[in-house]
Chains A and B, each alone.
Chain A
Amino acid sequence: MAQFQFLTTLKKSQGSNWPCTAAKISPDGQNVAFCDGTDIEIHNINSKSTTLIPTLHSQASSDLCWSPDSQCIATASDDFTIIITHIIFGELYRLVGHTAPVTAVKFTSKGNLLCSCSMDESIRIWDTLTGSLLRTLSAHSEPVVSIDIPLFDSSILSSGSYDGLIRIFDTATGHCLKTLTYDKDWQSENGVVPISQVKFSANGKYLLVKSLDGVLKIWDFVRGKVVRTFISGESNSLRYSCGMDFLYSQDEALDPIVVSGTENGNIVCWDSQTKNVVQRIQSKHLDSPVMDISCKGSLMCSLSLNGECNLWIWVNTD
């Protein structure tokens, strides 16, 4: 039996002046970064030291992403811009172009392209070497809140938006390749649910989607069919896009775990193959929505709206 065990609290909650919405573990597994208002705070997991890197954003940032070589962090802010900061050298580029707060950013696995989506309903693709805009995709009819790119394949990009659509785009040409859901449902009032998070599986063949009715689904996007559904038992209309991620344990024989945060501070873990609830963590993040979950190796980092950030480790408790 394997479960999450609490490791340490990286940051205590602070009746916040800024809501905290993004915490990510770096690809090399050494650091955890989260946005503190306009600044970036980096915690080193082993040495437990903290570094604060200020950025020139004029408004708080809502999302951040590590570059694949773990040397840069891109922050998406409400001031309509994205800043790429090198953790040693400082600010590299400021990407200007969106006309509304930027909601999410993601680097491609090669690190040379950065994709961002925003409340202006578009997705933009930037070149990180020169800091210039390559392409703008007009994607949706409501704010786009989440994008993801498969780990080994930077040819497609998936986006989820509040208009209920999950779309897959070709990064090279910007064409829409597939739409998985409808944005109008003639049969029922609540047929269309806004999407809050999308995430590809490690092999890029399946897409995990979370919507604002608390339901998580794994889609086989090539055939356009749902292959797994996970219901977390929350209310039908949520306010926050709470975090979720896959956990791939070191043991290859075990199936990946789907980890999802809820609005009342719980963290629920399902086995992706059997759909059983493996663990329900209720001990931390009391009554504050879990805004982001990031997994790397056997570590998981969870962040709630009040700023509390905890680190967990997946261990075999036998």
Chain B
Amino acid sequence: MANLLLQDPFSVLKEYPERLTQTLETPLHTCCVQFSQGGDYLALGCSNGAVIIYDMDTAKPISMLGNKGGGHVRSIQSIAWSKDGRYILTSSRDWYVKMWDLKKPGEPARQVKFDSPVWTCQWQSNGTLGCVATVYEENHAFSIDLESDVPTVSQICDIGQNEGQGADGKSVDYGYTLVACMHPKHKDLLLTGTSKGWIKIYRLSQQAKELIHTFRFAYSNAKHMIISQSGDRIAINSADRTIRQYMLTMNDEATEFNFTLEYRYQDVINRLQWNGIFFSSNSAEYLVASTHGSSAHDLYLWETSTGTLVRVLEGTEEELLDIDWDFYNMCIASNGLETGNVYIWSLVIPPKWSALAPDFEEVEENIEYREKEDEFDQVGQLEQQQELDQAEEVKIDLRTRESFDVRGNEISFDRFVIPIDYESILMLKYWDREN
């Protein structure tokens, strides 16, 4: 973080990465990527059920979940890190949602089995360990309480209201719930997207789950739904090849909602589907998306306030699937369809030669040196000393840490460090010695 203070502010404050800097070649076929909070680790979910964690400082794999039993056996559909980075939730096509404690990554700490493949799972940020999962061909999402050893599952369904009844009394089929996300500011609100193009907003509390608003955005599946960190922008990627960007406004008590369509993103030329979408930080100034199709190899970046395309991130030679954006290191990771490699785009800040001495400065062009009137005056030693002494009177604080970095990201939370597995190092040494 402190390195950002010492580098050129124009480079550091760039709002999106520009160049392909790393390619992580994994032997397994990656399906989804997820950075941990803080950008220290990158978790890759693979098509055979393996989840590998890479350390972003060294770009090497450091851990694999499920070494000692209990790993997934079908492709991973989603990965979610907890805020402090200690727990990971994975959901997979093998009908399981598993929660892993990174202190002991060999076995899952909790697991829940459903009756069909699980699409997504997200953490619930209401203090206790809990998550929301969406399942294949289920009308409602599920809420899982992971506090106790045996997790409890409950369906998020408003039993008070008859969900089949629309506002005008006609029966409404909302379809299967496919995607869900929690509202970042109002921790009890859950937004779900369905297969028939509806968004349903629930209020979750200890006693009941209330359906408080429904909104139809399209007539097809919701493939992805993302919400900005500030909670006022939503983007939905649907199966009719459009990404719809809405502004969500609500009143203070969060009882009335309004979705205003801001822009629609479509590939009018090739009419391709969108594979994955992601917002930039805070109030989502930018939206990045990847396209379907063997001829599309890039990530597209739009400015959300104007809806215009500002950047195309290139460098790969294959179709890209899942996207994740690390705001702390300003890098975007995406996995390729054919090879399963993970590509990382980040900022490249060139070295400053002015850093090599205290008073060097970089100038754009030659400056004619003009001697000042007082160039060779003997400055009073006393005055210089007084200046230095004054500087030494200013109070300094050696203890308190910064809470935000230059880019506005929060850095004051304690990040969990995955413990080094010394047993595996030992075993590798022994193995080398024997052979």
Binding site for B on A (CB under 8 A): 68-69, 71-72, 86, 89, 92-93, 108-113, 127-130, 134, 150, 152-156, 168, 170-173, 175-182, 201-206, 218, 220-222, 224-229, 246, 248, 252, 255-256, 272-273, 275
Contact = CB atoms under 8 A, between A and B. Distances in A.
B363 interface: no
Closest 3 A/B residue pairs (Cβ): A175-B351, A201-B398, A177-B6
B62 A179 contact: no
Dominant secondary structure of chain B at its interface with chain A: loop
Given A129-B425, A156-B3, A256-B398, 20 more contacts: A89-B422, A111-B417, A112-B420, A127-B60, A150-B2, A155-B3, A155-B4, A156-B6, A168-B6, A171-B57, A175-B352, A177-B352, A180-B358, A181-B358, A182-B358, A205-B397, A221-B6, A228-B396, A248-B399, A273-B395
Contacts of B422: 71-72, 86, 89, 92
B392 A228 contact: yes
B402 A172 contact: no
Contacts of A153: 1-2
A152 B401 CA distance: 9
A89 B60 CA distance: 24
A182 B357 CA distance: 6
Given A112-B55, A172-B57, A226-B391, A203 B355 contact: no
Contacts of B55: 112, 129
B388 A129 contact: no
B5 interface: yes
Given A110-B40, A273-B395, A203 B402 contact: yes
Contacts of B396: 206, 218, 220, 227-228, 272-273
Contact of A69 (B5, B352, B400, B420): B420
Contacts of B392: 226-229, 275
Interface in B205-220: none
B391 A111 contact: no
Contacts of B356: 176, 179
A178 B391 contact: no
B358 A227 contact: no
Interface of B: 1-7, 40, 55, 57-58, 60, 62, 349, 351-352, 355-358, 388, 391-392, 394-402, 417, 419-420, 422, 425-426, 429
Nearest to A220: B396
Nearest to A228: B392
B330 to A, nearest CB: 12
Contact of A256 (B40, B57, B399, B425): B399
A275 B393 CA distance: 10
Contacts of B402: 203, 205
Contact of B3 (A127, A170, A255): A170
Given A92-B422, A228-B392, A275-B392, A155 B355 contact: no
Contact of B394 (A92, A93, A128, A227): A227
A176 B398 contact: no
A109 B401 CA distance: 15
* A175, A218, A252 pick with most chain B CB within 10 angstroms: A175
A203 B399 CA distance: 5
Contacts of A228: 392, 396
Given A155-B1, A248-B399, A179 B357 contact: yes
Contacts of B3: 155-156, 170-172, 177
Given A156-B6, A179-B358, A246-B398, A113 B58 contact: yes
Contacts of A112: 55, 57-58, 62, 420
Nearest to B1: A153
Given A201-B398, A227-B392, A179 B355 contact: yes
Contacts of A71: 422
Given A168-B6, A176-B351, A225-B391, A203 B417 contact: no
Nearest to A224: B358
Contacts of A248: 398-399
Contact of A272 (B388, B391, B398, B429): B398
Nearest to A151: B401
A165 B5 CA distance: 20
A14 B260 CA distance: 80
A256 B395 CA distance: 12
A112 to B, nearest CB: 6
A118 to B, nearest CB: 20
A154 B398 contact: no
A125 to B, nearest CB: 9
Contacts of A180: 358
A203 B62 contact: no
Contacts of B6: 156, 168, 170, 177-178, 221-222
B432 to A, nearest CB: 11
